[in-house]
């Protein structure tokens, strides 16, 4: 098994001031620096290719993390167990097909994290199956473990249909315009519900079961796929 059980349960440090073991924080910070930056860049790049230069005009079409990270949102990852990067500005009405364009832009953020997880799993599988991992510093192997875990986590979490997550934006563009108007009208209450679910024990009965079930499933599936080919 590539992923250590303590890493799989990383989000479960819900009763501590810091959500993760102190020794893992530098590695997690490095992982999130990459994951958040690529996620937001994917939004900006997709929007630009579809005809909306709003993000590019605001300097967001870059892989420089300084332009994407939100200091408070990043800090809360380690304290509260959730956080955010700076949202990429998108004007969907610049797309030839606003609904399809909106779906693609929203989807590409989570998909970019899943692609990173695939890359990380492939590297980790190669290192382990070839025996190279045994001669490498344990911290490097732990980095790839965390890299896979957090990118799968961001993929799954961001697809939840709750505002302001990407899954909610996708849902908005899938439903009829009349339903979208109603969703927009009550979005502030949905955002409040999301915050409540994240920061209160209610999350243990709603969001956590999804995360603890779906994230390990994807990680194990990726491991099995690369194990078969190496």
pLDDT tens-digit series, residues 35-60:
999 999 999 999 999 999 999 999 99
- CA angle 8/27/164 to nearest 5° reads 65
Tell me the β-bridge partners of 85: 69
Note the pLDDT tens digit of each residue in 84-118.
889 999 999 999 999 999 999 999 999 999 999 99
Instruction: Using alpha carbons, list the distances in angstroms from residue 57 to 36, 86, 128.
Output: 20, 15, 44
Query: Catalytic annotation on 40?
Result: yes
Tokens for 170, please give them.
């996708």
CA distances to 1, 135, 191 from 130, in Å: 15, 11, 47
Looking at 5, 15, 40, 187, which residue is catalytic?
40
Is this prediction's pTM over 0.85? yes
Distance CA 33, CA 40 (A): 11
Domain boundaries, the chain: 5-229
Of 116 and 194, the structure prediction assigns the larger pLDDT to: 116
């Amino acid at each position: 098994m590539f992923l250590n059980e303590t890493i799989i349960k990383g989000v479960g440090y819900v009763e501590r001031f810091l959500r993760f073991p102190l020794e893992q924080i530098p590695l997690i910070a490095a992982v999130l620096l990459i994951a958040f930056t690529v996620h937001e860049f994917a939004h900006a790049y997709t929007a630009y290719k579809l005809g909306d230069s709003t993000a590019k005009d605001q300097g967001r079409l870059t892989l420089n993390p300084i332009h994407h990270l939100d200091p408070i949102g990043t800090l809360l990852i380690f304290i509260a167990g959730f956080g955010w990067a700076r949202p990429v500005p998108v004007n969907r009405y610049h797309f030839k097909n606003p609904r399809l364009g909106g779906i693609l832009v929203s989807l590409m953020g989570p998909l970019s994290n899943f692609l990173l997880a695939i890359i990380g799993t492939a590297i980790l599988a190669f290192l382990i199956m070839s025996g190279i991992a045994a001669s490498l510093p344990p911290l490097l192997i732990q980095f790839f473990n965390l890299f896979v875990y957090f990118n799968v986590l961001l993929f799954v979490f961001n697809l939840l249909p709750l505002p302001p997550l990407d899954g909610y934006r996708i849902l908005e563009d899938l439903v009829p315009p009349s339903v979208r108007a109603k969703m927009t009208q009550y979005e502030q209450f949905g955002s409040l519900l999301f915050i409540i679910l994240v920061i209160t024990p209610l999350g243990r009965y709603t969001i956590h079961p999804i995360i603890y079930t779906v994230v390990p499933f994807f990680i194990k599936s990726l491991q099995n796929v690369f194990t078969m080919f190496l």
